[in-house]
């Protein structure tokens, strides 16, 4: 059709030039509209990364990766003084005592168990505090992790198997590991796709991974967060707890009975529960997550913090933000620390 048009128009005549202009403007408009319809601007899109893999991908690559099962069963709160005296850094003992029944009953063949009660220790204010790098390196080596190999993490249970897996993912990333992936949908998705499981004891060969320092670009501590002055310091503070917990419909003292806090969240926090980014099969599409993030009104120059009760739900949001190109710091102490250490900061209720 285009060649027929040009045969009827003299070369470079006003007729042909007009037609060319229409074509060029149409292409430009298509490109502009495709950019403008994206809910996040180019700053975020340029930094996006996708750590999520499918069961089908894992089936094709299962012999090329290190598998980690992050299944967790909550236990009674551990006393930090007693733990530090008897168990701190004793990973052989912790691994032996904290492997959960769900993992031992069924897991992907070859997967070692990453236990939350083994990988972290309870400190005065933080339920899942981080070991110094030289200590945690010993634990990662017990899991068989080597330098430069790809680690694929999965779990089961809450958030379509993504909650505890996301926590393990953020943790390994915080210790400097970079070649990390998450199995979307966890063990259930693996089984639904026809993937095998077994209950054999997995004792990996001791790994050689090196851990030199914690990555403070994705880890936030209480002292650095400008509470009550978020706007002045160009901060967006995302609260990943459930909506009833954020608004106060579910009182804070239900989760933290001894707190003296009068509110349900910190002033200026933005509610972004992990349910916004999770569907029945794991993380929803990046495009849908982008749309959810766009509704938050984040600014490209702001420092983003994510928090929840113990730093676990916030890990899900951390992964979702990372996939959409948002750099964030996870506040590991979260509400557990605030409710005890600084309850006066938890002074807001409702949706604002």
Residue pLDDT, tens place only, 226-278? 999 999 999 999 999 999 999 999 999 999 999 999 999 999 999 999 999 99
pLDDT of residue 50: 82
Question: CA–CA separation, 77 vs 42, rounded Å?
Answer: 44
Residue pLDDT, tens place only, 141-152? 999 999 989 999
Contact 182, 52 (CB under 8 A): yes
Q: What does the DSSP 8-state code read for residue 295?
A: T
| Residue 277, both tokens | 């980014």
Catalytic residue positions? 308
Structural domains of the chain, ranges and CATH numbers in brackets: 49-193 (3.40.250.10), 219-348 (3.40.250.10)
Q: What is the reported pTM?
A: 0.85
pLDDT of residue 43: 55
* CB count in 10 Å sphere of residue 112: 21
Confidence of residue 87 (pLDDT cuts 50, 70, 90): confident
From residue 35, alpha-carbon distances to 32, 42, 327 in Å are: 5, 8, 21
129 pLDDT above the threshold of 70: yes
pLDDT of residue 44: 57
Contact 184, 282 (CB under 8 A): yes
Residue pLDDT, tens place only, 313-325? 999 999 999 999 9
Determine the angle formed by the axes of helices 163-174 and 313-323, rounding to 10 degrees.
70
| Residue 31, both tokens | 């490109």
| Residue 49, both tokens | 């990364």
pLDDT of residue 198: 96
């Amino acid at each position: 059709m285009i060649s027929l048009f040009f045969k009827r128009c003299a070369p470079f005549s006003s007729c042909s030039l007009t037609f060319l202009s229409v074509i060029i403007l149409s292409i430009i408009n298509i490109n502009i509209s495709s950019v403008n319809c994206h809910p996040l601007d180019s700053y975020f899109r340029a930094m996006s990364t996708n750590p999520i893999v499918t069961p089908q991908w894992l089936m094709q690559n299962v012999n090329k990766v290190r598998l980690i099962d992050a299944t967790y069963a909550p236990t009674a709160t551990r006393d930090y003084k007693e733990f530090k005296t008897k168990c701190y850094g004793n990973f052989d003992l912790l691994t032996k005592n904290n492997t959960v029944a769900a993992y031992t009953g069924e897991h992907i063949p070859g997967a070692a168990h990453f236990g939350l009660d083994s990988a972290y220790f309870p400190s005065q204010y933080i339920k899942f505090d981080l070991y110094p790098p030289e200590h945690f390196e010993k634990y990662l080596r017990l899991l068989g992790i080597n330098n430069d190999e790809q680690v694929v993490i999965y779990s089961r249970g809450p958030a379509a198997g993504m909650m505890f897996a996301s926590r393990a993912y953020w943790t390994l990333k915080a210790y400097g590991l970079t070649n990390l992936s998450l199995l979307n949908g966890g063990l259930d998705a693996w089984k639904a796709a026809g993937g095998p499981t077994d209950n054999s004891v997995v004792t990996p060969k001791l790994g050689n991974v090196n851990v030199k320092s914690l990555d403070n670009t994705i880890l936030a501590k209480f002292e650095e967060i400008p509470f009550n002055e978020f706007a002045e310091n160009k901060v967006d503070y995302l609260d990943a707890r459930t909506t009833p917990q954020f608004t106060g419909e579910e009182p804070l003292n239900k989760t933290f009975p001894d707190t003296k806090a009068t509110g349900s969240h910190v002033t200026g926090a933005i509610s972004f529960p992990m349910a916004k980014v999770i569907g029945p099969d794991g993380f929803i599409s990046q495009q849908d997550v982008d749309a959810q993030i766009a509704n938050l009104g984040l600014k490209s120059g702001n420092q983003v913090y994510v928090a929840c009760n113990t730093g676990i739900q916030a890990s899900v949001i951390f992964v979702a933000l990372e996939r959409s190109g948002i750099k964030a710091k996870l506040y590991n102490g979260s509400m557990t620390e605030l409710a005890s250490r600084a309850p006066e900061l938890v002074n807001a209720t409702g949706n604002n």
